[in-house]
């Protein structure tokens, strides 16, 4: 077992345990609604965003209460990411039937139930960030974290990127426009995950700037590899519909650069992400290995 595999498994366990601890049970007045939220949130997945959040914090701090401080932030990120997946899968958007190897939320809980599950996850994320679960983080840092995540998830980040993506389906597109879509739809929240993990443990501005560069390059690599996997993998391998980008007329990196050119661009982005960490010590090694993992992942 490789070092990064061990790291991913250990941090994924922390995230799963934290999500199970903080998220409401399917009981009481809102049991049906909460069950729809839990169906997608607790369905597994790579947990890349919360793990990046933890790894960024660990790269700049050895505080004894580090995980206690950062895990609520990591859970909030996963709630927001999961809400985005539920809404992206809806018939009005990507109209996908499979996610994480099982039926999408709206196939099980209906379109209205899925929309409300996504709404609930988004708002619960900010309850985590603003509430008593988040301890040991200074009020000013807490506000900065909330603002960073809101900006990354909203109309100037992930949601804006999805709007651009839908607007350009089946339309001629420039590479610069494709890059804008990727930077916002996928890259914004991945970058924020790195930033807020560091903010939660009092990172200085110089290292925060370097981590921001790392996050942006990693986010770019992640989406490029997503495009590549969508074009080259099977539905069984991905746990979601393969070939769906081409079917919906979406612009992708392989459409611009071919498969080999796309692999080269992903490698360039990973190299740039690693370079951003040149002044960091061994505590940043998980971040470096995560960049390599993004390049070689199979789903």
Tens digits of pLDDT across the chain (299 residues): 568 999 999 999 999 999 999 999 999 999 999 999 999 999 988 999 999 999 999 999 999 999 999 999 999 999 999 999 999 999 999 999 999 889 999 999 999 999 999 999 999 999 999 999 999 999 999 999 999 999 999 999 999 999 999 999 888 899 999 999 999 999 999 999 999 999 999 999 999 999 999 999 999 999 999 999 988 876 666 666 666 666 677 789 999 999 999 999 999 999 999 999 999 999 999 999 999 999 988 77
Strand, coil or helix: 144: helix
pLDDT at residue 241, rounded to an integer: 66
The radius of gyration of the chain from alpha carbons, rounded to an integer in Å, stands at 18
| Residue 226 contacts residue 250 (beta carbons within 8 Å) | no
How long, in residues, is the chain?
299
Between CA 290 and CA 59 the distance in angstroms is: 12
3-class DSSP assignment, residue 98: strand
- pLDDT, residue 238, reads 66
Sequence-separated (6 or more) residues with CB below 8 Å from residue 240: 96, 98, 99, 100
Element (H, E) at 195: helix 188-200
Which pLDDT value is given to residue 248?
Answer: 72
Query: What whole-number distance in Å separates Cα of residue 203 and Cα of residue 207?
Result: 7
Pick the closest to residue 182 from 225, 243, 121 (CA basis): 225
- pTM, entire model: 0.94
Report yes or no: 146 and 130 within 8 Å, Cβ to Cβ.
Answer: yes
Task: Give the per-residue pLDDT at 215.
Answer: 98
The CA-CA-CA angle for residues 229, 232, 238, to 5°, reads 50
Instruction: Give the whole-angstrom CA distance, residue 137 versus residue 124.
Output: 19
CA separation for the pair 249, 168 (Å, rounded) = 9
The full set of domains in the chain, from first to last, is 3-296 (1.10.600.10)
pLDDT score recorded for residue 53: 99
Nearest to 48 by CA among 165, 176, 167, 186: 186
Give the integer Cα–Cα distance in Å for 163 and 93: 10
pLDDT score for 239: 65
């Amino acid at each position: 077992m490789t070092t990064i595999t061990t790291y991913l498994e250990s941090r994924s366990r922390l995230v799963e345990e934290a999500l199970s601890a903080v998220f409401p049970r399917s009981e009481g007045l809102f049991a049906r609604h909460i069950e729809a939220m839990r169906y997608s949130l607790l369905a597994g997945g790579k947990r890349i965003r919360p793990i990046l959040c933890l790894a960024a914090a660990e790269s700049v701090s050895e505080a004894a209460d580090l995980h206690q401080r950062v895990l609520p932030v990591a859970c909030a990120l996963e709630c927001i990411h999961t809400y985005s997946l539920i809404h992206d899968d809806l018939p009005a958007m990507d109209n996908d039937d499979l996610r994480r190897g099982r039926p999408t939320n709206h196939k099980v809980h209906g379109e209205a139930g899925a929309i409300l599950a996504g709404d609930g996850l988004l708002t619960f994320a900010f309850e985590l960030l603003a509430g008593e679960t988040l301890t040991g983080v200074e009020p000013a840092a807490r506000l900065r974290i909330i603002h960073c995540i809101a900006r990354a998830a909203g109309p100037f980040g992930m949601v804006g990127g999805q709007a651009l993506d839908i607007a350009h389906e089946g339309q001629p597109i420039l590479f610069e426009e494709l890059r804008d879509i990727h930077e916002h739809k996928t890259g914004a929240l991945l970058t924020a995950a790195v930033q807020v993990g560091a903010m939660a443990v009092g990172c200085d501005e110089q290292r925060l700037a370097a981590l921001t560069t790392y996050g942006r390059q990693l986010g770019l690599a992640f989406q490029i590899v997503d495009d590549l996997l969508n074009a080259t993998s099977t539905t069984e391998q991905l746990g979601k519909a393969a070939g769906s980008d081409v079917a919906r007329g979406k612009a992708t990196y392989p459409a611009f650069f071919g498969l080999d050119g796309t692999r080269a661009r992903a490698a360039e982005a990973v190299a740039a992400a690693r370079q951003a960490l040149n002044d960091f010590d061994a505590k940043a090694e998980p971040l470096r290995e995560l960049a390599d993992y993004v390049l070689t992942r199979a789903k």
